[in-house]
């Protein structure tokens, strides 16, 4: 099998706290023999699980990147039982450019499993697939909706077939202690990072922590507290595991987004006006938003209606809308017992 195209400057199997970098060829007009760096840290002490903490899969989703950078900074060796590997910014050029995708146009979250002789995004994906995932028991991949949309702040999951893996993922998702959780399917292509990790049998815990081009302070707090509680929950971080009950909060609401009909696409170009907020309950046929027309002020707005009963989960954050853009997504509350 071909060696990965990505090199790592630290020994990820060594005990202790080490901060280093992954490097792979950078194709640029301004330097020859250049490399792209993706920074990585390993904090390892004694027996325990290995947890891979990932953020910045999409560049303009900063909630997880800030939490992961803080974790890398604050996690002390004596707090760890096992190993935490942190890659705080998987897509650094996209992060600096405030874009979802890489400057090449590649969507890193559609690059898996990757290949060592593919373009740079696939080279990095291949390194995760063949080097980092096999080391890990738990893979945490933090997302939000970036600039484009606001996703009800939540941890979420695929409902995987394996019952043991599903139960562990459900409990991991709940350990984030968000008010909402979401069950998702892949409706927009293949090659997702979580799917590759799930296929390797890992406990995969993912988030959608808002978005819309601004990170409110409560979201930073949710990213940080959720990440830390999940690390305690899986046993790699010292300290008492909190639950919503122990915090005096009601149970979280689990929203089911596995029906593709819950995703509403704009029928034409226009300017989207949201009439409801994520978290609002809607009935089938109720107007969720309106589409206005810049070049046709005489035209009445197009009403965009809920396709079924549910809860608004995602709403488009950038009013300018093209035909086929997702303008909102509904989730349908379901009972936790349906997942076990």
Residues in contact with Zn ion by the rule CB under 5 A: 58, 61, 143
Of the candidates 62, 97, 90, 40, the one whose C-alpha atom is nearest the C-alpha of residue 220 is 62
Q: Annotate 220-252 with b (16+ C-beta within 10 A) or e (fewer).
A: bebbbbbbbbbbbbbbbbeeeebeeeeeeeeeb
The count of C-alpha atoms lying within 13 angstroms of the C-alpha of 134, restricted to the half-sphere facing its C-beta, is 7
Local structure of residue 80 (DSSP, 8 states): B
Give the span between the Cα atoms of 94 and 121, in whole angstroms: 12
Please report how close the Cβ of residue 143 comes to Zn ion at its closest, in angstroms. Answer: 3
Local structure of residue 128 (DSSP, 8 states): I
The structure tokens listed for 244 are: 């919503």
Please report how close the Cβ of residue 3 comes to Zn ion at its closest, in angstroms. Answer: 29
CA 306-307-308 angle, to 5 degrees, is 90
Distances (CA, A) of 291 to 163, 277, 288, 304: 43, 16, 10, 7
Please report how close the Cβ of residue 78 comes to Zn ion at its closest, in angstroms. Answer: 33
* Closest to Zn ion by CB, 65 or 262: 65
SS3 label, residue 160: coil
CA 301-304-309 angle, to 5 degrees, is 150
Please report how close the Cβ of residue 222 comes to Zn ion at its closest, in angstroms. Answer: 16
Asked whether the beta carbons of 72 and 10 are under 8 A apart, the reply is no
Please report how close the Cβ of residue 169 comes to Zn ion at its closest, in angstroms. Answer: 18
Asked whether the beta carbons of 153 and 210 are under 8 A apart, the reply is yes
* Closest to Zn ion by CB, 182 or 282: 182
Please report how close the Cβ of residue 266 comes to Zn ion at its closest, in angstroms. Answer: 20
Please report how close the Cβ of residue 48 comes to Zn ion at its closest, in angstroms. Answer: 29
């Amino acid at each position: 099998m071909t060696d990965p195209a990505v090199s790592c400057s630290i020994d990820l199997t060594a005990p202790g706290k080490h901060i280093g970098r992954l490097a792979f060829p950078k194709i640029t007009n301004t330097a020859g023999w250049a490399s792209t760096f993706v920074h990585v840290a390993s904090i390892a002490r004694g027996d325990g699980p290995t947890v891979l903490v990932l953020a910045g899969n999409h560049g303009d989703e900063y909630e997880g990147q800030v939490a992961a950078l803080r974790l890398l900074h604050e996690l002390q060796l004596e707090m760890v039982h096992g190993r935490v590997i942190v890659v705080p910014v998987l897509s650094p050029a996209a992060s600096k450019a405030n874009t979802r995708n890489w400057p090449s146009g590649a969507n890193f979250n559609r690059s898996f499993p990757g290949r060592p002789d593919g373009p740079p995004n696939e080279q990095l994906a291949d390194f995760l697939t063949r080097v980092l995932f096999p080391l890990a028991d738990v893979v945490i991949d933090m997302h939000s909706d970036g600039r484009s949309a606001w996703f009800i702040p939540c941890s979420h999951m695929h409902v995987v077939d394996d019952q043991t893996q599903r139960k562990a993922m459900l409990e991991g998702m709940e350990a984030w202690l968000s008010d909402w959780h979401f069950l998702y399917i892949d409706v927009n292509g293949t090659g997702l990072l979580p799917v590759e990790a799930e296929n390797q049998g890992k406990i995969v815990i993912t988030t959608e922590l808002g978005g819309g081009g601004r990170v409110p302070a409560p979201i930073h707090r949710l990213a940080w507290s959720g990440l830390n509680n999940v690390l305690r929950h899986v046993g790699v971080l010292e300290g008492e595991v909190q639950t919503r009950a122990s915090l005096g909060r009601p149970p979280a609401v689990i929203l089911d987004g596995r029906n593709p009909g819950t995703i509403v696409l704009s029928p034409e170009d226009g300017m989207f006006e949201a009439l409801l907020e994520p978290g609002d309950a809607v009935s089938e046929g109720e107007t969720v938003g309106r589409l206005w027309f810049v070049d046709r002020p005489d035209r009445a707005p197009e009403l965009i209606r809920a396709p079924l009963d549910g809860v608004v989960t995602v709403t488009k954050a950038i009013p300018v809308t093209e035909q086929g853009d997702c303008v909102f997504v509904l989730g349908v509350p379901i009972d936790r017992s349906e997942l076990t």
